[in-house]
A and B are shown apart, each in its own frame.
Chain A
Amino acid sequence: MLLVSSVMGALVDLNGKGRYVHWGFIQISVANLVVIALMAIVFIGAIIVPYRRHGDR
């Protein structure tokens, strides 16, 4: 558990100042942008990845 938290802490440092993206009047945190991007990726994956049905076994 300690190892996992150490690795995650090294990858994503949440102790510093928040990072933001500015684009005209739009301002969004990098964390929120990452979550939105992940949702879009999962959404596209849910549409294109084939679903295994009973008949496929």
Chain B
Amino acid sequence: MSVDTGSRSDPSAGLPEDARQWTAKLRNSATGKLPPGRLLPDRQPAYVASWIYVFGVLTVSALLLVIATGCVLALKGPAWWHVSSAGLFVNSLHLWSVEAFFFFMVIHLWGKFFMAAWRGRRRLTWVTGVVAFLVSVGAAFTGYLSQQNFDSQWISTQAKDGINATGAGAFFNVLNFGQMLMWHIVLLPMVVALLAVVHVLLVRTRGVVPPFAAPPGRQDGMARTGGSEPSVEGDRA
């Protein structure tokens, strides 16, 4: 690494002789793919003006609430969330934000499926969303196992034979409370949060998928609503 003498007017630009360093390459790649205007845009294409496009951000909002209430539950512990009024309230917030998370995520998934949202080099965006959904199911399942009540005992004893039949029981033992708690509060939330961040960054990088090309007779209607003609790129798989 070179020594910065501090003589440059814009330190973020970097020196030409440092262009081969990994820090410069990473910075240039990141700012090239996601300049601030694309990372946090002020405007979206006209076709995004539909309620069906709202459910992605609702899912992310519910996930933030899930994580926030989960952090409070982790700090206070099972006696608090089972007995005190405030604990029961936060416990319910955690449950219902998960319900909202799945509710919004399924509608988002249906919408994107029928839009074929993997078009236009957006396959990785679709795949990260699908994997995030599947990992979220695991996170919710281990959450039910971590309740510390008769419900969690019932679910774990009902699930053990099914899980063991797959062979996963060797390293994913639903009767091992400590292991399930760690899956629920460390490993799975970390993966879900990471996938959600990558998913959103991919959406910002590739943009929102344009609609299927409208039939010739309906092009005028698109013009009236201020929409631009769908990109040809959008129909390339």
Q: B226 to chain A: which residues have CB within 8 Å?
A: 55
List which B78-109 residues lie within 8 A (CB) of chain A. Answer: 99, 103, 106-107
Interface pick from A7-15, A21-29, A37-45: A37-45
For the complex, give the distance between the alpha carbons of A37 and B54 in Å.
19
Question: How many A residues face the partner with a CB closer than 8 A?
Answer: 12
- CA gap between A42 and B51 in the complex, in Å: 10
A4 within 8 A of B: no
Decide if A51 touches B51 in the complex (CB within 8 Å).
yes
**Across the interface, do B51 and A39 meet the contact criterion of CB distance under 8 Å?**
no
Tell me whether B111 and A43 are in contact (CB under 8 A): yes
Output the nearest chain B residue to A52 by Cβ-Cβ distance.
B49
Interface of A, secondary structure class, is helix
Contact A51 B111 (CB under 8 A): no
| Whole-angstrom distance between the Cβ of A39 and the nearest chain B Cβ | 6
Q: How far is the CB of A16 from chain B (nearest CB, A)?
A: 16
B186 within 8 A of A: no
Which of B46, B99, B106: most chain A CB closer than 10 A? Answer: B106
Instruction: Give A residues with C-beta under 8 Å from B.
Output: 35, 38-39, 42-43, 45-47, 49, 51, 53, 55
Question: What are 26 A-B pairs with beta-carbon distances under 8 A?
Answer: A35-B99, A35-B103, A38-B103, A39-B103, A39-B106, A39-B107, A39-B110, A42-B103, A42-B107, A43-B107, A43-B110, A43-B111, A45-B51, A46-B51, A46-B52, A46-B55, A46-B107, A46-B111, A47-B50, A47-B52, A47-B111, A49-B51, A51-B49, A51-B51, A53-B46, A55-B226
Interface of B toward A, CB cutoff 8 Å: 46, 49-52, 54-55, 99, 103, 106-107, 110-111, 226
